[in-house]
Amino acid sequence: MISDLDVFGAYVPPLPALMLAAWVAVALLRRCLDQFGLLRSVWHPALFIGAAYVLVLSLIVRIAFE
């Protein structure tokens, strides 16, 4: 299991760093989908991006804690 991260002498839980990594991954995914016009074919883009964020975050957490 991953312990707390040492950031300039302060111990922080690893979840914020994982959330930031998921946000970056989903931002890149959104940019790619928007560039190719695939985001327009989704019924509700905000719900789609929100669900993609949850999926990517859960995938990163699962990989990090195994």
Q: Model's pTM, two decimal places?
A: 0.85
- Give dist(CA 25, CA 58) in Å, integer: 12
Backbone phi, psi, residue 42, to 5°: -90, 140
pLDDT given for residue 2 in this prediction:
65
* Cβ proximity of 5 and 17 under 8 Å: yes
Burial class (CB in 10 A: 0-12, 13-18, 19+), 9: exposed
Domain extent for 45? 5-64
- Condensed to tens digits (0 to 9), the pLDDT of residues 13-31 reads 889 889 999 999 999 999 9
User: Tens digit of pLDDT for each residue in 25-66?
Assistant: 999 999 999 999 999 999 999 999 999 999 999 999 999 888
Domain tally for the chain? 1
